[in-house]
Chain A
Amino acid sequence: MSSLRLISSVVRRATTFSIARRGYADAVSDKLKLSLALPHKSIFTSQDVVQVNIPAESGDMGILSNHVPSIEAIRPGVVEVIESNAGSQKFFVSGGFATVHPNNKLTINVVEGAPLEDFSIEAIRSNLADALKVAAGSGSEAEKMEARVEADVYEALQHALAK
């Protein structure tokens, strides 16, 4: 009788142990630690998220947990962060670098960025017109290049808002 009780307690202990271990493993494996930082603000700091979609130079890509380590330059576009299966947050970023590290971390450094819903379509349109004017104008080569880059950002923004 006592031996039976001993066995049952051992079994119980074993099951609780395995359950606890599985729970811990789950938490590590299916979440990605995201840091999304701007120079003047950090939007995410090592927060667990499910998926992040980034506009890389080589094409848009989605990053899940346990992604292969990689370094991607980001072009102006929308970074979409899916925190849980329920909803997602969209940020427009101006460009920078995203790095997936071997320890299941994703760091995104961008120079400027804001939630997509904060942009005003009228302001974008007028600024885009200004930038295009300078790009086509008679400034120095460097000035024109700068205006061209500016126009690219506004075009990407317009495209992102139109979706």
Chain B
Amino acid sequence: MLARRSLARAAAATVGPSAPTQARNMATLREIELRLKSVRNIEKITKSMKMIASTKLSKAQRAMQAGKAYGLANSEVFANVPSDKPTPNKLFVVISSDKGLCGGIHSSVSKATRRALANAPDSPLVSLPAEDATADPSSPIMVIGDKSKGQLMRNYGENLQLTFNQIGRDIPTFADAAAVADMIVQSGVKYDSIVVVYNKFVSAISYESAVYEVKGEEALRESNAFKVYENEDNATRDLAEFSLANALFAALVEGHACEQSARRNAMDNASKNASDMIGTLQMQYNRGRQAAITNELVDIITGASAL
């Protein structure tokens, strides 16, 4: 009894491979149909995400223009005040956001931060005056946005001092920037200067990582170039804090515009790929269907002629 059953199973096993070929043909048709359906759904989603990103992009770009002018007016002081001695202890503030599906936006700033900390030859700090161009590898880092936080956590986990999220869902406001600046000042982290790492908007289809340096109160006081300016002594601290908020605001707004444009492009590419895939799948499906029909016809005709 036992032997017979195992024999039957063995027989079934030998029959097995030939039967599924017939079945697989039908199954692939069904499978293709299912895949086609899911790819169509994906295309719909990416298309609507693209539309949303496009409308948000035009708003973000308008906000960026004003924010950039504000940042430029703010950075004028720092452009005129180079440091007299090296300032390696920098606080890096990395500007990204919480949401993905937007190309390499987050890794662009994370990589720039890593290059700066490693003092690599293509570090973004080389654009700064010579005394400011090096960074201590153990410099503190603060991150706005969960995505870059995850990326920097791996290698520079112990450098991370503060992280922020929920900023940059909509167009950043000055209140957001002021709140972040306030937290940074209250955190008690010591620094010579703050380096804001953000994505710079080059055109609607490209962006690049860039840095924006804001000097701390001490660094400003010690700089000889700063002494050219006539000012009240107690205003220096206020100036440093206000400039930090302004720089953060300009960087946040520009980063936001970059993110929207990157998302638009990513979704545009995804929709294109999806429609390519739909084309090939549809072709495959039609061919398979045609083949099945032809096969059936052959069966019927041979059956009929055999009679």
- State the A residues within 8 Å of B (CB): 35, 37-42, 45, 57-58, 68-73, 96-97, 99-103, 105, 107-109, 111
- Bound Cα distance from A105 to B75, whole angstroms: 13
- Bound Cα distance from A109 to B69, whole angstroms: 10
Residue of B with least CB distance to A39: B174
Asked if A42 and B80 sit within 8 Å, CB to CB, the answer is no
Stretch at the interface among B1-9, B111-119, B223-231, B295-303: B223-231
Smallest CB separation, A112 vs chain B (Å)? 8
Asked if B80 and A37 sit within 8 Å, CB to CB, the answer is no
- State the B residues within 8 Å of A (CB): 63, 66-67, 69-70, 72-74, 76-77, 80, 173-174, 177, 228-232, 235, 238-239, 242-243, 246, 249
Chain A residues with Cβ below 8 Å from B231 are: 70-72
- Bound Cα distance from A57 to B235, whole angstroms: 10
- Bound Cα distance from A37 to B70, whole angstroms: 5
Given contacts A38-B66, A42-B70, A109-B246, contact A70 B230 (CB under 8 A): yes
Chain A residues with Cβ below 8 Å from B230 are: 68-71
- Bound Cα distance from A35 to B68, whole angstroms: 12
Option from A57, A73, A99 in Cβ contact (under 8 Å) with B76: A99
Residue of B with least CB distance to A96: B242
Given contacts A102-B228, A109-B242, A109-B246, contact A37 B235 (CB under 8 A): no
Asked if B80 and A39 sit within 8 Å, CB to CB, the answer is no
- Bound Cα distance from A57 to B229, whole angstroms: 16
Can you sample 27 A-B contacts with CB below 8 Å?
A: A35-B72, A35-B73, A37-B66, A37-B74, A39-B66, A39-B173, A39-B174, A39-B246, A41-B66, A42-B70, A42-B73, A45-B69, A68-B230, A69-B230, A70-B231, A71-B77, A71-B230, A71-B235, A71-B239, A97-B242, A99-B76, A101-B76, A107-B73, A107-B74, A107-B76, A109-B74, A111-B174
Option from A40, A57, A105 in Cβ contact (under 8 Å) with B66: A40
- Bound Cα distance from A71 to B246, whole angstroms: 16
Option from B66, B76, B246 in Cβ contact (under 8 Å) with A42: B66
Asked if A69 and B70 sit within 8 Å, CB to CB, the answer is no
Residue of B with least CB distance to A68: B230
Residue of A with least CB distance to B238: A73
Residue of B73, B173, B177, B243 with most chain A CB atoms under a 10 A cut-off: B73
Chain B residues with Cβ below 8 Å from A101 are: 76-77, 80
- Bound Cα distance from A37 to B67, whole angstroms: 9
Residue of B with least CB distance to A69: B229
